[in-house]
A and B are shown apart, each in its own frame.
Chain A
Amino acid sequence: MDFDFSEAEIAFCEKLKGLLGSVPEKGLSRFEKDKVQESRKGLLDWLEKLAGVDYLSLGMDPGSHAVTLTAAQEELAALDPSLFLAAEVSARIFGRLLAVYGTPEQKEKILPGVTGGRLIGAVGLSEGGMNIENEPLGTRGVKSDTGLLVSGTKAHVVNAPVADWFAVAGNFEQGPAFFLMENGHEGLSLSPGFTMTGYRGVAVSTLTLEKAPVPPDRVIGPFKDDQRFKTVRSWEDQILTAAGLGVMKAAYETARNHAKTHMSGGKPIIAYQEVGFKLSEMLTLFQTAQLLAYRAAWMVEAGQREAPVVAHCAKVFCAESAEKVASEALQILGAQGCLQGNPAEEGYCNAKYLQVAGTSTEISRMKIGDGVLG
């Protein structure tokens, strides 16, 4: 047992904080569907900076990275939630998918660009009206002379409008697999980007494949079952858990600083118990969520028997606590909190996404329930 960060962990986070602190402006501006190229350039600029401090390659190889990763993710998620989500999907989901399950040729061709911040990745997993939890995916590949022809639709694909590469989950005769495609791939089309309630800087759209040709060397898999899809989903959940920490950190610190400086009745509002006690509860949720997220990450990496259940506990707790903390921050900030661009307002909008994205809190609770029932 050791509740301290190691020197290496501290050094890594300091390096990241140094980068984030050295850039005065925030990361991603609001995504606009008619300014896709600007969004793409903005994201690539930041990915390159993050690659410079090795952020994008963290967790790609085996080793004790889980707690370091979670702590580093928290920092970035607090500073710029949209940049965080976009970077994580590109590196930690798309990149890690290649790193863990890709062929040597696939890794050699694509991975350096992703971890180096020169390429943007996206992963199509969920489908409209169904999810990988209880129904088979509708995306299917059928044999052709040159490989497979893949058809299907993927809903809400993060980074899709700006991505260079896609990994699309589906099935074919030999089993479940991911199909790799470049932007502009024959048969691949994207809907116009969505405008979201939260994560407004993230480019999201629906991806449709109509008999998209996929040669054998662009297939990751086949796998014997859909467990790999669930593993990728668990990576997504871990990202969303850390995103919750970021929401709480930003919202709590903004509200605390405001409460210390905003005067009412001749004293700072933190001196009023209505405000001070709210902040105490927010801090309690934040610190509790931090420890739970770190421990869950550690348990997953250590291969602990209860790790999947505790990881779901962490996801639910962090996502729901993020909404509560952001909501209370809004209350403390008063009208100022309701202005767009304020971390509390932004966090409040983002927090709902954390509860529905990845494994939703409802399904997570079902999995926790199933886990404890044995």
Chain B
Amino acid sequence: MEFSFSEEQMMFKDQVMRFARKEITPRSMEHDLKGEFDFHAFRKLGEFGILGLHFPEELGGSAADVVTSTVAGEALGEAGVDGGLTLSYGAHTFLCADTIFAHGTDAQRQKYIPALASGEWIGCMGLTEPGAGSDVASITTRAEKKGSGYVLNGNKMFITNGPVADVAVVYAKTDKALKHAGISAFIVEKGTPGFTAGEKLIKMGVRSSHTSELIFEDCEIPEENLLGEKGAGFLMALQTVEWDRSTLMAPFLGSMTYTLHKCIQYAKERIQFGRPIAHYQAIKHKLADIKIFIEAARSLIYRIAWCKDQGRPLNHKEAAVAKLFLGDWSLEPANGAVTLHGGYGYCHEYEVERNFRDSRLAPIGGGTSEITKRILVKLM
């Protein structure tokens, strides 16, 4: 075992952080508070190469490995990019674009990946429904064969990038009787008749990412928009878990480091009883708890990334452990950071409040902690 990053990876992390600090972080607070998607920053991510980092060069990417992609994600968070934008990036690149890349035909790849990698198009993924979250097999959105295509009917809920997406990967039942094996994936473009996105939801955290319902009413799509094998949709959705538990969670890890640096800065500057509060044991203990969380979490997500780079099948137990730890164990240090800032921590200006709100999604999004625990029990 050894845990080092390559020189190139460390240099790349530094480059991403410098880029993000210059181009994105100064805009993060405004977009978070207004709950506005930052199109400018998103396109900048595309120009820098983040959005398509792991795709082949001929499709507009840089052919980076998974660990390097995870390093980039961590760097965004560490540079202070808000969780809303990094969530949008995750949903776009991994849940949408990578699903097309991994399962699409050459024609589908050629059509969508370059536009998604550059940020010209924004992608989303629709799986969750108003009545089906953790219980994926119970989705009711259906895709019925009609002539040379399909007709989609149903609603998707809590779809990150829903209101701003140009293209969506949508999961629907093609055979109701087959449960999981009856789920197929489709590519649906914005503007397709019968496809609309609902109003953006007003969320507690990750506010600069737009989230909404997707509505399909007799939405006709051509046969060539079927993604992968018919009935393979559930397995395709599962395969995004590797990205979800590594690169997609990496910005969150980075944001905890950003939070720690904010706390350190405040603790050194804030004077109480004649000296900086950094001198007090209770403050040092809070800093220590944030640091312990970061160090404990780090190897969990890089292990998933490294295993994917080795071409290994997903280890569901390790993935679940990573998800559960980053979700449930992050809340206390995120809360501690707010407390450390006192009244200022409750205000937007010091940014730890944003991280506190953003953190609350971690035990919910991408599989709740409860579902994660169920998975772990099954694997014991």
Closest residue of B by beta carbon distance from A1: B306
A interface with B by C-beta (< 8 Å): 1-6, 9, 67, 256, 260, 270, 273, 276-277, 279-281, 283-285, 287-289, 291-292, 294-296, 298-299, 302, 309-310, 313-314, 316-317, 362, 364-366, 368-374
Contact of B4 among A283, A302, A310 (CB under 8 A): A302
Interface residues of B in 20-57 (CB under 8 A from A): none
CB pair B284–A370 under 8 Å, yes or no, is: yes
List of 9 A-B pairs having minimum Cβ-Cβ separation, nearest first: A369-B284, A276-B377, A368-B288, A280-B373, A365-B288, A280-B376, A291-B299, A313-B295, A277-B373
Which residues on the B side are within 8 Å of A373 (C-beta)?
264, 267-268, 278, 284, 287
Q: What's the nearest-Cβ distance from chain A to residue B41, in Å?
A: 29
Which residues on the A side are within 8 Å of B67 (C-beta)?
1
CB pair A1–B302 under 8 Å, yes or no, is: yes
CB pair B288–A369 under 8 Å, yes or no, is: yes
CB pair A270–B1 under 8 Å, yes or no, is: no
User: Contacting chain A: which of B103-111, B219-227, B317-325?
Assistant: B317-325
Q: What's the nearest-Cβ distance from chain B to residue A231, in Å?
A: 21
Contact of A294 among B1, B298, B325, B377 (CB under 8 A): B1
Say if the beta carbon of B380 comes within 8 Å of chain A: yes
CB pair A270–B284 under 8 Å, yes or no, is: no
Complex CA distance for A289 and B285, rounded to whole angstroms: 19
CB pair A284–B3 under 8 Å, yes or no, is: no
Complex CA distance for A310 and B3, rounded to whole angstroms: 13
CB pair A316–B376 under 8 Å, yes or no, is: no
Closest residue of A by beta carbon distance from B305: A1
CB pair B300–A291 under 8 Å, yes or no, is: yes
CB pair B321–A284 under 8 Å, yes or no, is: yes
Closest residue of A by beta carbon distance from B292: A313
Which residues on the A side are within 8 Å of B373 (C-beta)?
273, 276-277, 280-281
Complex CA distance for A294 and B370, rounded to whole angstroms: 28
Given contacts A277-B370, A291-B299, contact A1 B5 (CB under 8 A): yes
CB pair B321–A279 under 8 Å, yes or no, is: no
Which residues on the A side are within 8 Å of B328 (C-beta)?
281
Q: A276-B377, A316-B288 are in contact. List 20 more A-B contacts (CB 8 A).
A: A1-B5, A1-B302, A2-B2, A6-B1, A270-B377, A273-B374, A280-B324, A283-B317, A283-B380, A284-B324, A287-B317, A287-B321, A291-B300, A302-B4, A310-B295, A313-B288, A317-B296, A366-B288, A369-B278, A373-B268
Contact of A283 among B1, B6, B260, B376 (CB under 8 A): B376
Complex CA distance for A368 and B291, rounded to whole angstroms: 8
Query: What are 7 A-B contacts defined by CB distance under 8 Å?
Result: A1-B6, A276-B373, A279-B377, A280-B374, A295-B299, A313-B291, A369-B281
CB pair B3–A372 under 8 Å, yes or no, is: no
Q: What's the nearest-Cβ distance from chain B to residue A251, in Å?
A: 14
B interface with A by C-beta (< 8 Å): 1-6, 67, 260, 264, 267-268, 278, 281, 283-285, 287-289, 291-292, 295-300, 302-303, 306-307, 317-318, 320-321, 324-325, 328-329, 370, 372-374, 376-377, 380
Q: What's the nearest-Cβ distance from chain B to residue A3, in Å?
A: 5
Complex CA distance for A215 and B340, rounded to whole angstroms: 54
Complex CA distance for A309 and B260, rounded to whole angstroms: 14
Complex CA distance for A294 and B296, rounded to whole angstroms: 11
Q: What's the nearest-Cβ distance from chain B to residue A215, in Å?
A: 44
CB pair B2–A298 under 8 Å, yes or no, is: yes
Complex CA distance for A317 and B288, rounded to whole angstroms: 11
Which residues on the A side are within 8 Å of B307 (C-beta)?
3
Contact of B299 among A292, A302, A316, A368 (CB under 8 A): A292
Q: What's the nearest-Cβ distance from chain A to residue B234, in Å?
A: 23
Q: What's the nearest-Cβ distance from chain A to residue B321, in Å?
A: 5
Q: What's the nearest-Cβ distance from chain A to residue B372, in Å?
A: 7
Given contacts A1-B302, A5-B1, A292-B295, contact A276 B374 (CB under 8 A): yes
